Amino acid sequence: MRPRNLPHPLPQHMRAVVASRPGGPDVLTVTQRALPRPARGEALVRVVAAGVNRADLMQRAGHYPGTAAVADLGLEVSGIVVSVGPGVGDDLLGREVCALLPGGGYAEYVAVRAAHLAPVPAGVSTVDAAGLMEATATVWSNLYMPDKPVPGSWLLVHGGASGIGATAVQLAAAHGVRVATTVGSPGKARFVAGLGADLVIDHRRQDFADELCERGIRPAVVLDIVGADYLQRNLRVLERGGRVVVIGHQSGSRASIDLEPLLRSNLTLTGSGLRMRPDHEKDQIIADLVQHVWPLYESGAIVPTTHAVLPLERAAEAHRLLEQSHHRGKVLLLAGPGLPPTPESRR
Ligand SMILES: NC(=O)c1ccc[n+]([C@@H]2O[C@H](COP(=O)([O-])OP(=O)(O)OC[C@H]3O[C@@H](n4cnc5c(N)ncnc54)[C@H](OP(=O)(O)O)[C@@H]3O)[C@@H](O)[C@H]2O)c1
């Protein structure tokens, strides 16, 4: 069975940004590729914007664990469904969507498993929506599935001004959880306070564990992106029965730690990688996001945190921006114009 398209001609080729070889930002080049065809269960999205994630930097450098090809960058996009493959309903055609991808989002078109699409939340621009999927899926799946932080308890979020951190701070605050967070500059401290953080610690000037202990704050959960350097201190600050969720290891993945706090305080040490999860788990995460998180965007309780939007061909600059870490929230690449939003396309 052939894919069904919107009644507009589709091009044969598209522009995509690929890493020509493992290396620094300069290996990113614009290339022509054949237009992907949606397979069974897939939709073809004309990309409006793509999110840039720290994982893209690792993948470009050839350091991403697993099977991700160096070339196929881009874990999330927003755009318009222009074609659907067998097994996907025609009602998706023309819809404005955001999509979670295993890669390939730095392009004008991408074929996506239809279950990994979500509508653009009402009130969010199609461009901003490009930065929602990776962070919300990571934060929601690690903090809220299946256990959730109890309102009034403390959550410690490391790197609160990162794409991930800005989402975690807002989501927890919206659920009545008290949030402590680490950042690396006064400007970032103001940014996360504005997102609802109750306590902000500058990790370049203060030791987060000392700061929390001096105030008698014992988090129920730590969401950690730093890894080795913070692991022992994360265990030290947790309340009895608390859990550390490691989702990144920017300081290194190998740690030698004293296990005693695990036994003494009945702690849980866990972690996960969104990209490595099987499709059926991602299906469930995305269904959960639409049910539980999208209404928070639609009511304005949480907001997208777009720091910069650059054209697709300036992907190298976007990567440098993340490497220098002066950004707050998300950096996006603009691939093409959106449709004017209509109730029909957002339904
Ligand atoms: N496991 C998963 O499924 C998953 C999914 C998505 C992302 N992640 C991980 O989540 C992390 C954030 O991703 P992103 O795309 O949002 O990255 P990002 O926007 O580039 O942010 C990286 C952040 O790390 C912070 N940071 C660096 N060293 C720190 C330290 N010692 N203490 C506290 N914060 C520190 C930086 O803040 P300062 O510059 O202020 O220090 C910066 O805000 C990455 O490690 C990424 O790999 C994991």
Instruction: Check whether residue 227 and residue 309 sit in a common domain.
Output: no
Which of these ranges, 64-68, 204-208, 320-324, has the smallest mean pLDDT?
Answer: 64-68
Instruction: Check whether residue 62 and residue 124 sit in a common domain.
Output: yes
Nearest CA to ligand 1 atom 22: 162
* DSSP-H helix ranges across the chain: 54-60, 126-129, 133-143, 163-174, 186-194, 208-214, 228-237, 260-265, 279-288, 294-299, 315-324, 343-346
Instruction: Check whether residue 150 and residue 54 sit in a common domain.
Output: no
Instruction: Check whether residue 92 and residue 14 sit in a common domain.
Output: yes
Q: Which of residues 253, 271, 289 is at a domain's end?
A: 271
For residues 120 and 128, give the distance between their C-alpha atoms in angstroms, rounded to a whole number: 9
pLDDT, position 337: 66
Any domain includes 283? no
Instruction: Check whether residue 156 and residue 119 sit in a common domain.
Output: no
Instruction: Check whether residue 24 and residue 58 sit in a common domain.
Output: yes
pLDDT, position 341: 45
Atom of ligand 1 nearest to the CA of 275: 3
Instruction: Check whether residue 162 and residue 233 sit in a common domain.
Output: yes
Any domain includes 216? yes
Any domain includes 339? yes
pLDDT, position 146: 79
Instruction: Check whether residue 193 and residue 101 sit in a common domain.
Output: no
Instruction: Check whether residue 109 and residue 61 sit in a common domain.
Output: yes
Per-residue pLDDT of 300-337, as tens digits, reads 999 999 999 999 999 999 999 999 999 999 999 999 76
Provide residues with CB under 6 Å of ligand 1. 53-55, 134, 138, 158-159, 161-164, 182-185, 188, 203, 225-226, 247-248, 250, 272-274, 322, 325
Instruction: Check whether residue 166 and residue 266 sit in a common domain.
Output: yes
Instruction: Check whether residue 103 and residue 150 sit in a common domain.
Output: no
pLDDT, position 8: 80
Any domain includes 107? yes
Give the distance (Å) from ligand 1 centre to CA of residue 90.
39
Structural domains in the chain (count): 2
pLDDT, position 268: 97
Any domain includes 298? no
Per-residue pLDDT of 25-64, as tens digits, reads 999 999 999 999 999 999 999 999 999 999 999 999 988 7
pLDDT, position 343: 43
The yes-or-no verdict on residue 342 having pLDDT over 50 is: no
pLDDT, position 344: 46
Instruction: Check whether residue 163 and residue 79 sit in a common domain.
Output: no
**pLDDT band per the 50, 70, 90 thresholds, residue 7:** confident
For a substitution probing ligand 1, which of 195, 249, 250 has the most ligand atoms within 8 Å of its CB? 250
The yes-or-no verdict on residue 2 having pLDDT over 70 is: yes
What is the pTM for the complete model shown? 0.95
Asked if 284 and 308 count as a contact pair (C-beta separation under 8 A), the reply is: no
Percentage of residues in the chain with pLDDT exceeding 70?
A: 95
Which is more confident, 4 or 318?
318
138-148: average pLDDT: 93
Average pLDDT taken over every residue of the chain: 94
- Please state, in angstroms and as integers, the Cα–Cα distance from residue 135 to each residue in 209, 262, 304, 305, following that order: 25, 28, 10, 11
**Structural domain containing residue 182:** 138-271
